[in-house]
Structure 1
Amino acid sequence: MPHHRSLHTTLDQLYASRSQQHLANDPLSFCHRYHDPADQEVAALIAAVFAYGSVKVIKGSLFRIFSSMGDSPTGFVDDFDPKKQRQLCSGFKHRFNNENDLAALFWAIRLMRQQCGSIEGFFSQFHKADAVTVEQGLNGFCSAVLGLDYQPVFGKSGLTRESSFRFLFPAPAGGSACKRLCMFLRWVVRPADGIDLGLWHQVHPAQLIIPVDRHIERIGRMLGLTSRQTPDWRMATEITAALRLFDPQDPVKYDFSLCHLGISEGCNGTRSACCQTCPVAQHCSTV
């Protein structure tokens, strides 16, 4: 990789400069409302799976969801009854997903916690400690979540092939970059550092794959971290492999600060005023 040492230094400086202002403009901020690790874990999965679309729309949807859940997300999902409490989801709409999908998500988390004590426990059934990445774990996790009994939510037909709920749990096996689930894993696996939460201990940060949103897709190409054009699982692993050269034990630590060059700082992939103050401009192919 060209300018390897110089880019490494720049990325480490960028990581060190992360701000609470950026966090406030991120769905992860909703998890920081809670102090109990169990509440943070439940909030993290909910916030991550609905983290698609514009930041404004995402934050609006999450504000509504967490307002309805009260002070304890775990207490809410552990007691959630799709028949008695369906009205709490009534009218919910987030782009492709609706009130039925929200109820199904609450129900899925309740079942995961009932079966394994936590979402981590449920995920860890499919993840091997010596795995190179989380790919196998994600494949098993998504398949198992979609295989739960959703009759209490959807009726006798259960979860159909056409259900929009499936959109919330894509798997690497289908080629998806799994951006939202990789983001969830980053939040809960990486050490608590004021941004990420450091909740899980069965998955190592070295096994994480970077969440490829449109910002990471674009910035990854501009920095020479990937040559691929399609934001799929192969791009995600390629960018992660490039970042692993800088930090083999924690390659995804750069994700938050890189993606907020786009989310919060206005980078859109073209030469603009923000390039003049951008910390990675010297390495960028557009400058």
Structure 2
Amino acid sequence: MTKSELKEFLDEKVELYNNPNFIESDPIQIPHLYSLKEDIEIAGFLAATIAWGNRKMIINNAKKMMYFMGNSPYDFVMNHSESQLDALENFVHRTFNGQDFVGFIKGLQHIYQNHNGLDAVFSKQNPTMQHTISEFKQLFFEIPHLARTEKHISDPLNGSAAKRINMYLRWMIRKDNKGVDLGIWNNVSPALLSCPLDVHSGNVARKLELLTRKQNDAKALAELDENLRKLDPNDPVKYDFALFGLGVFEGF
């Protein structure tokens, strides 16, 4: 199909999936449980971190994370006791275990105490958002931590597509008043966001000739971003709804 036909097709799919009905089957429902900015961004970060595998299991386990934190993520991050951290040791989602959970709570506390919070870190001026993600990972793990926990934050500068953290940034930054993305951060343009590239969106993108590279890695993400920006330079990542919806809900 022509570029204009492709854009029209994808815009229709964005309209179809970018609405509140999408929330009930997606991990984005977790940050939607909260109204305090810091609760939203912490709940979103933790839910996005474990967003791989069965979506129902992701949502259930993200709700367990919130329960362990007394359903007050920011207060827990800032004011937890050692005994409260010990209770997290029972948590597990695939390869993300209780020790990783504890490490993430300490990393988040460090970000809020010493780097003015998640919004401030991700709002820094860097050549690309992928550089910002890489810098965030460095800051997050400045404090003592288990080496095993580092694998749960991807580094795009090491070749990763960083699907989960790019998805998280979409949640926090995109504003379109459709009721799905939360759009609570104001200092980063949605034009800078990258598509959360995974098996589903990658396969659909290849069928639509938006992507030629076979691996879902940083190089593939750069290629996909370039092509999506041709379709909408101001809000390229809205097409994640179309690619994901076509792949997961329509088996495109």
TM-score (structure 2 length as normaliser): 0.93
Name which of structure 1's ranges 110-119 and 13-22 shifts more when overlaid on structure 2: 13-22
- Deviation per CA, 1:24-63: give whole Å up to 9, x if none: 1111111111112221111111111110111122112112
Query: What is the one-letter code of the residue matched to 1:228?
Result: R
Q: CA deviation at 1:141?
A: 1.1
Q: CA deviation at 1:22?
A: 2.2
Equivalent residue number for residue 146 of structure 2: 159
Listed as ranges, the matches of 1:1-287 within 5 Å are 2-18=1-17, 19-81=19-81, 83-125=82-124, 127-128=125-126, 131=127, 133-147=128-142, 149-150=143-144, 158-160=145-147, 163=148, 165-193=149-177, 194-263=179-248, 265-267=249-251
Unpaired segments ≥5 residues, structure 2:
none
Query: What is the one-letter code of the residue matched to 2:135?
Result: G
Name which of structure 1's ranges 208-217 and 190-199 shifts more when overlaid on structure 2: 190-199
- Deviation per CA, 1:45-94: give whole Å up to 9, x if none: 1111110111122112112111222242111111123x221233132111
Give the conservation status (yes or no) of the 8 Å contact 2:203–2:247.
no
Give the conservation status (yes or no) of the 8 Å contact 1:80–1:107.
no
Q: What is the rounded CA distance, in whole Å, between the counterparts of 2:87 and 2:122 in structure 1?
A: 27
Q: What is the rounded CA distance, in whole Å, between the counterparts of 2:80 and 2:53 in structure 1?
A: 27
Give the conservation status (yes or no) of the 8 Å contact 1:22–1:260.
no
Q: CA deviation at 1:216?
A: 0.6
Query: What is the one-letter code of the residue matched to 1:188?
Result: M
Query: What is the one-letter code of the residue matched to 2:84?
Result: Q
Q: CA deviation at 1:266?
A: 4.5
Query: What is the one-letter code of the residue matched to 1:159?
Result: L
The alignment's C-alpha RMSD in Å is 1.6
Q: What is the rounded CA distance, in whole Å, between the counterparts of 2:46 and 2:101 in structure 1?
A: 9
Q: What is the rounded CA distance, in whole Å, between the counterparts of 1:175 and 1:215 in structure 2?
A: 19
Distance 1:44 1:192, change over 3 A: farther
Q: What is the rounded CA distance, in whole Å, between the counterparts of 1:96 and 1:257 in structure 2?
A: 29
Q: What is the rounded CA distance, in whole Å, between the counterparts of 2:5 and 2:77 in structure 1?
A: 47
Give the conservation status (yes or no) of the 8 Å contact 2:68–2:87.
yes
Query: What is the one-letter code of the residue matched to 2:159?
Result: G
Q: What is the rounded CA distance, in whole Å, between the counterparts of 1:121 and 1:238 in structure 2?
A: 28
Q: What is the rounded CA distance, in whole Å, between the counterparts of 1:143 and 1:79 in structure 2?
A: 23
Match of 1:84, SS?
helix
Q: What is the rounded CA distance, in whole Å, between the counterparts of 1:196 and 1:109 in structure 2?
A: 22
Q: What is the rounded CA distance, in whole Å, between the counterparts of 2:3 and 2:40 in structure 1?
A: 36
